[in-house]
Structure 1
Amino acid sequence: MQKLNLPSYTFKIKSNEKHYLIFDEIRKKYIVLTPEEWVRQHFVQLLIQEKKYPVSLIAIEKQLVINNLKKRSDILIFNSNGTPDIIVECKAPSIKITQDTFDQIARYNLKLNAKYLIVTNGIEHYYCIMNTKDENYTFLRDIPEYKN
């Protein structure tokens, strides 16, 4: 798999007849190792190991319904009150991050009302804090570490 602009982590990887699989410690199962999944697993480890977010507050591919369509957020981090705090949209490294990517995560956030939005393809990362009053967002240099 491609080297990412994220810290390196050790993963459990195995193969079956068709695919390589990576163990997802949040979902507690092996998942097909796609380029997007490679980015997602690295970003989850960044959140846990570097930013100290508890595993218990992280959800992967959480389903939501938008305009009667079922969608899934890549990574959703809840605060200690159980409300969404951070949405992370992951793309494969070969996918360029465009306005469409920001529009996608913004649509999810209309439903979830998270404070922070993150878009990453493993190479480029964009961090935003939402201002719901003025209906805009401000780019940040990094995401905050977990605070209780």
Structure 2
Amino acid sequence: MQKLNFPSYSFRFKNSENKVSIFDSIRKKFIILTPEEWVRQHVVHYLLEEKKFPKSLINVEKVLMVNGLRKRYDVVVYNSNGSIFLLIECKAPEVKITQATFDQIARYNMTMEAEFLMLTNGLNHYFCQMDFENEKYTFLENLPKYNHKSI
């Protein structure tokens, strides 16, 4: 897999039936290694190791309903009260981040109401803080680190 714009992390791999899998410490199982999963696993390690979020507040690949349609989010970080702190959309490195990809996470967030958004293809990362009162968002240089008092 290609080098991504994240620090180096150590991953567990498994090879079976000519397919390589990577261990997901959140889902506690091996997942087939696709380019998007490679990005997702870097994001999970980034949240755990760089931003110091507790594993117990992170959720990976769950179904949600958006306008009556079943959609799947990539990564969510919860606040300790159960509200959503951060919604993350991961794309494969070859997928360009466009207005359409940003619109996808914005649609998901209309349902989920996360305070922060992250959109990444592993090479380019975009971070936003939502302002629901004024119906806008502000781009950020980075995400805040975990602070158990604020979440």
Structures share fold, TM-score greater than 0.5: yes
TM-score (norm: length of structure 2): 0.96
**Could you tell me how far apart the structure 2 residues matched to 1:40 and 1:147 are?**
22
Letter in 2 for 1:69: L
Q: Tell me the CA shift for residue 67 of structure 1.
A: 1.8
1:85 corresponding residue in structure 2: 85
Report the Cα offset of residue 19 of structure 1: 1.2
Unaligned regions of 5+ residues in structure 2, if any?
Answer: none
In structure 2, what is the equivalent of residue 124 of structure 1? 124
Q: Which residue of 1 aligns with 2:96?
A: 96
Q: State the SS of the aligned residue for 1:117.
A: strand
SS of equivalent residue, structure 1 residue 145:
coil
Q: CA deviation at 1:69?
A: 1.1
Query: One-letter code of the match for 1:54?
Result: P
In the TM superposition, 1:137-148 aligns within 5 A as 137-148=137-148
**Counterpart in the other structure of 1:43:** 43
List runs of 5+ in structure 1 lacking aligned partners.
Answer: none
CA displacement at 1:18 relative to structure 2: 3.3
Task: Give the ranges of 4+ consecutive aligned residues of structure 1 lying more than 3 Å apart after TM superposition.
Answer: none
User: For residue 134 of structure 2, what is the amino acid of its counterpart?
Assistant: D
Identical-residue share of aligned pairs (%): 57
Deviations 1:49-70 (A, max 9, x none): 0100000000001210112211
| Deviation for aligned residue 1:134 | 1.1
1:27 aligns with 2:27: yes
Alignment root-mean-square deviation, CA:
0.6
